[in-house]
Structure 1
Amino acid sequence: MKKLSIVIPCYNEQETIELFIKEMETIEANMVLQFEYLFINDGSKDKTLNVLKNVATSKKNVKYLSFSRNFGKEAALIAGLRAATGDFITVMDVDLQDPPDLLPEMYQKLQEGYDIVGTRRSNRVGEPVIRSFFAKSFYKLVNSISDVKMVDGARDFRLMTRQVLDAILNLNEVNRFSKGLFSWVGFDTYYISYENRERSAGKTTWNFWSLFKYSLEGIINFSEAPLNIATFIGILSCILSVLAMIYFFLSNLISQNPVPGWPSLVCIILFLGGLQLFCLGIVGKYIGKIFLEVKKRPNYIIKEDNINEK
């Protein structure tokens, strides 16, 4: 029997783990696949690890990795993918916002010849209006400036073949943005749409600021457009400055009067200084990414696990 590895990142999810397992057992009973659960405890502050240990004692196909601290969802994802031993692999959120009842349909699509079956939300019902607006704006922006196209509303919840996973694992970069990486590797992909769902329990740890920073990671990791914008602004500022100098020189030559307007001059200097700092900030962000890559630090540190236990 072929095996399905289910990668589940967890951060302060003590209330949702058992609900997730119960829901998945129903799906497991109706699929001709052996299920392997890979929970990644991303430095949780609650009793998530204790719950995972209790579940693992009663279900031998439940495995867990526990980090030494919180390294972030991207680190949890790559850790779970590296530990997966299945013929097919899926990534799911433990809060049941990723509908487990879609798995049979997703598996059927793989049997039809697709390499990846992804999921996307058809709407954002229940999500704050501001967050929805910026999320849609992000996808429009990144798709307009990047060669890698990302589907609006796409979730990390996707089912893939072993070949796709091996391609993902060959990408050794430290700065990871999984949505972009799954698109970058290519392969035949099919998307299934579904209505947005609320969390089954607990409270999300994602807020507007964390999502904003995550979106910046996606833009910088998959586009050079910000660098091009900085270059364009620099060239335009130089041209305007030269034209302004010519204008003031001719004005002074014709009128024989010194050019007045020291306040406006100060404003121009401050404006150009701000543009320079803005462009330096963009360049610095890219240099920071290079700095993190060349240090070759691991994405995560595992404190304990039960991967090798029978």
Structure 2
Amino acid sequence: MDAERHAHARPLLSLVVPFYNESAVIEAFFNAIVPVLCGIPDIDYEIVCVNDGSTDATLDKLLAACQADFRVRVIDLSRNFGKEAALTAGIDEAEGAAVIPFDADLQDPPEVIPKLVAQWRCGYDVVLAKRAERRTDTYAKRGTAALFYRVHNAISDITIPDNAGDFRLMSRQVVESLKQLPENRRFMKGLFAWVGFRTAEVEYVRSPRIGGKTKFSGWKLWNLALEGLTSFSTLPLRVWTYIGGLTAGFAICYAAYLIIRTWVRGVDVPGYASLITAVLFLGGVQLIGIGVIGEYVGRIYMESKRRPVYIVRDTYRLGRR
């Protein structure tokens, strides 16, 4: 009887949403997302809200939503660990047969979710929500994003789809595969691509933020890009072998030229300007190489500590804490 009831049970869909100082959008978020999830036929859902160390009223509003709806769960982290860690915490806690990472700012339209579920029901393990265009981004952000995807996919064995963020549907098998990955420094878009599985795409148009402001400054985006490039490729290290070889080859050729010129024309006084230029150029090249090596050594150092990706202060759900 239990097996028969389980066979006819409606699948559970988990929506994983990181929150960091998003008190201004929480009410609008639930007003927009709940009707869409309720409208998906033959499916149950839960909303896993991860409070990533917010300093405003975010936690209080999330707890109010949790008390009003048993399908809302709140994971309260002990401090701000960053979006990648908060996303990891939500995915670890999600119980659904399918899991969808989602942003609280509603730039990703909730109306796309039923389309993702429809493709999942067709047998796909991963359904990407891919932006048809990026009009809501600044020109600089569009250009740097395109450059990042082009460079990353050129130097890495893992291809990250262009214009696809964290918004996607993943089956339980994909989620369990992600949970096996042990690294502390996590670049989630790369990890999503690394696990593979059968993938479909759904295109959509992104909307402006409904409130608040983005938590990703230009500096944070730059660091995230470095994280992505160094997480899935060693080419930045390997390329310095070729740079060193070319520089040494050029030096040998130039030395041979000087010897021949001295034989033919005699000895002349070398120029200070050319000498100092060569010294500064080679010094700069060496420092860049050391910086690239340092980036990888730093990653090794952080990973060797084996610290947890996040720490949960408390979890909340209706009638239980």
Same fold per superposition (TM over 0.5):
yes
Tell me whether 1:104 sits opposite 2:121 in the alignment: no
| Aligned AA (2:63) | K
Q: Distance in 2 between matches of 1:76 and 1:105?
A: 25
Compute the displacement of 1:259 (Å): 4.1
* Alignment equivalent of 1:237, drawn from 215, 222, 247: 247
Tell me whether 1:190 sits opposite 2:200 in the alignment.
Answer: yes
Hey, what's the Cα distance between the residues in 2 that align with 1:88 and 1:152? 23
Q: Are 1:171 and 2:148 matched, yes or no?
A: no
Give me the whole-angstrom Cα distance separating, in 1, the residues matched to 2:207 and 2:263: 71
- Contact conserved, 2:16 with 2:90, CA < 8 A, in 1? yes
Contact kept? 1:234, 1:276, Cα under 8 Å: no
For the pair 1:202 / 2:212, whether they are aligned, the reply is: yes
Matches within 5 A, 1:1-310: 1-31=10-40, 32-306=42-316, 309=320
**2-11 or 241-250, which moves further after superposition?**
241-250
- Contact 2:109/2:206, CA 8 A, preserved across alignment: no
Q: Give the Cα separation in 1 of the matches to 2:252 and 2:305.
A: 42
Instruction: Give 1:212 deviation, angstroms.
Output: 1.6
SS of corresponding position for 1:159: strand
Between the aligned residues of both structures, percent identity stands at 39
Query: Deviation of residue 228 (structure 1)?
Result: 2.0
Deviation, 1:254, is: 2.7
| 1:19, distance to aligned residue in structure 2 (A) | 1.2
Separation (CA, whole Å) in 2 of partners of 1:245 and 1:309: 77
1:120 Cα deviation (Å)? 1.2
Q: List per-residue Cα deviations over 1:139-163 (Å, max 9, x = no partner).
A: 1111111111111110211111100
TM-score, with length taken from structure 1: 0.96
Write the distance in 2 (CA, Å) between the matches of 1:231 and 1:66.
Answer: 46
Q: Distance in 2 between matches of 1:135 and 1:148?
A: 17
CA displacement at 1:250 relative to structure 2: 2.5
**Once the two structures are superposed, what CA deviation does each residue of 1:64-104 show, in whole Å capped at 9, x if it has no partner?**
11222211111001100111111111100011112111111
- 2:242 and 2:77 map into 1 onto residues whose CA distance is 43
Greater CA deviation, 298-307 or 218-227?
A: 298-307
Q: Which runs of 5+ in 1 are unaligned?
A: none
Give the superposition deviation at 1:196.
2.0
Deviates more, 1:218-227 or 1:23-32: 23-32
1:309 aligned partner, one-letter code: R
Q: Distance in 1 between matches of 2:136 and 2:39?
A: 31
Work out whether residues 149 and 183 of structure 1, in 8 Å CA contact, stay in contact via their aligned partners in 2. yes
CA distance in 2, matches of 1:9, 1:225: 32
Q: Is the 8 A contact 1:16 1:94 kept in 2?
A: yes
Gapped runs of 5+ residues in structure 2?
A: 1-9
Deviation per residue, 1:174-193 (Å, 9 max, x gap): 11111111111110111111
- SS of the residue corresponding to residue 16 of structure 2 reads strand
1:225-261 deviation line (CA, Å, top 9, x unaligned): 2112222111111111122222222222332214421
**Residues 150, 183 of structure 1: 8 Å contact kept:** yes
TM-score (norm 2): 0.93
Moved more, 203-212 or 171-180: 203-212
